[in-house]
Amino acid sequence: MTKPPLRIALIGSGFMGRAHAMAFAAAARTFDLPVEPVLEVLADRDEETAAKAAASLGFARSTGDWRAAVNDPAIGLVAITTPNILHAPIALAAIAAGKPVYCEKPLAATLAEAEAMTLAAEAARLPTAVGFTYLYNPMIGLAREIIADGEIGEVTAFRGIHAEDFMASPDAPFNWRCEAAQAGGALADIGSHIIALARHLVGEVRAVSGQLHTAHPVRRDASGAPREVPIDDQADALVRFENGARGTLSASWIATGRKMGLGFEVSGTRGSIVFTQERFNELQLYRGGTRGREGFTTIMAGLEHGDYGAFCPASGHQIGYNDLKTIEAKAAIEAALGLPNAAKDFREALNVERVAESIRTSSREGRWVEV
Ligand SMILES: NC(=O)c1ccc[n+]([C@@H]2O[C@H](COP(=O)([O-])OP(=O)(O)OC[C@H]3O[C@@H](n4cnc5c(N)ncnc54)[C@H](O)[C@@H]3O)[C@@H](O)[C@H]2O)c1
């Protein structure tokens, strides 16, 4: 029996556009979805870029005008992987056209836009999903389960960091991620992942005391011209969670040597969990033990953990980054169909943005800020 098609419009074909295209294709073969995701139309900044990307990624059609893609009556899901400044206009147009939206993080370039997007989707009762890729890791699912089941006791502390080094050199060029109008900066770009992770595992953040830092205040753009950098290279915050836990959240794209240092330590009254995305098929769990023999146990990802088994029938063989994106795409498709799903929606992404904005306010005003 052939499945009904879910025709997808993808806007943007850079790093994330390619990842989404691969994930939609893989999701159809990895999971037993009730629909067949169809790579229908790819939109990019101009006709030529779009046509080239559509041919390489397997889309049936292409356009240099995202409005045409979003308003196409055949389309059942709009996926947005453009620079941040375009998230709001594209999402709002898609919602106005009655389409479910799957948008990359951070949700928008400003908090006001993130609020407008969330309210518009909720008013139209349209499902949404946001690309908080790392939350779909089966080992993060396991960590969440362990915490929720009280296996490490009461959570007392969360120390989280997202550190990379792609802007560590002062010679790293000025790009759209450096523009204030784009919600640029390490906090918005990668900080959104660690904030989302903290909320996913520990819960609401109640208050923050933040410090933003621009280590390289001038960078050269593609033409070689010097440009003032109005955003943060590094952000650090002390945080108080609603449930009383305390901790820190850090984001840095100048962490020399660190390639994918998204990690955390959660301490509880009876145990602890340690994780790093650089070894994301593993979770370190401490639950005490015989005196003199206590220590962290390494749990390898396997068939007992979330969607791992959909990719590989043998434990410990490991899944990869694009597999996490495939799990995320499945959640977005299920959300679009109105099925029970694990997707983080615009409301959750808005809550992440509120924490980030509070950290910015705190840094600017030099005081603790309630979220
Ligand atoms: N979930 C994750 O782990 C993750 C990782 C990286 C990036 N992101 C997010 O994904 C988004 C895109 O980041 P990226 O690294 O893929 O950027 P990128 O610069 O590699 O790609 C952006 C794409 O958007 C296209 N574009 C620009 N203007 C356009 C227009 N007017 N109409 C249509 N297309 C246009 C560009 O041509 C390009 O194809 C950002 O919001 C970023 O924060 C998420």
pLDDT tens-digit profile of 40-89?
999 999 999 999 999 999 999 999 999 999 999 999 999 999 999 999 99
DSSP H or E stretch at residue 84:
none
Quote the ligand 1 centre to 56 CA distance (angstroms).
Answer: 17
pLDDT confidence of residue 365: 98
pLDDT confidence of residue 184: 83
pLDDT digits (tens, 9 = 90+) for 228-277: 999 999 999 999 999 999 999 999 999 999 999 999 999 999 999 999 99
Mean of the pLDDT values across residues 193-206?
98
CA distance 54 to 76: 18
Identify the residue whose C-alpha is closest to ligand 1 atom 25: 12
pLDDT confidence of residue 289: 87
Atom of ligand 1 nearest to the CA of 87: 41
Mean of the pLDDT values across residues 85-108?
98
Pairing of strands 297-300, 205-213: unpaired
Identify the residue whose C-alpha is closest to ligand 1 atom 32: 45
350 and 199 Cβ atoms separated by less than 8 Å: no
User: Which regions of the chain carry the CATH code 3.40.50.720?
Assistant: 5-132
CA distance 312 to 323: 11
CA distance 301 to 265: 18
User: Which regions of the chain carry the CATH code 3.30.360.10?
Assistant: 134-370
Identify the residue whose C-alpha is closest to ligand 1 atom 11: 81
DSSP H or E stretch at residue 251:
strand 246-252
Is it the case that residue 1 has pLDDT exceeding 80? Answer: no
146: tokens are 């362990």
Site residues for ligand 1, CB cut-off 6 Å: 11-17, 43-45, 49, 66, 81-84, 86, 104-105, 131, 133, 189
The whole-chain average pLDDT of the chain stands at 97
Say how far residue 283 (Cα) sits from the centre of its chain.
20
Q: Which CATH superfamily is domain 134-370 in?
A: Dihydrodipicolinate Reductase; domain 2 (3.30.360.10)
pLDDT band at 183; cut points 50, 70, 90: confident
Q: For a pocket test of ligand 1, which of 22, 46, 81 has the largest count of ligand atoms closer than 8 A to its C-beta? A: 81
The verdict on domain 5-132 having CATH code 3.40.50.720 is yes
* Residue reference for tokens 């904030």: 195
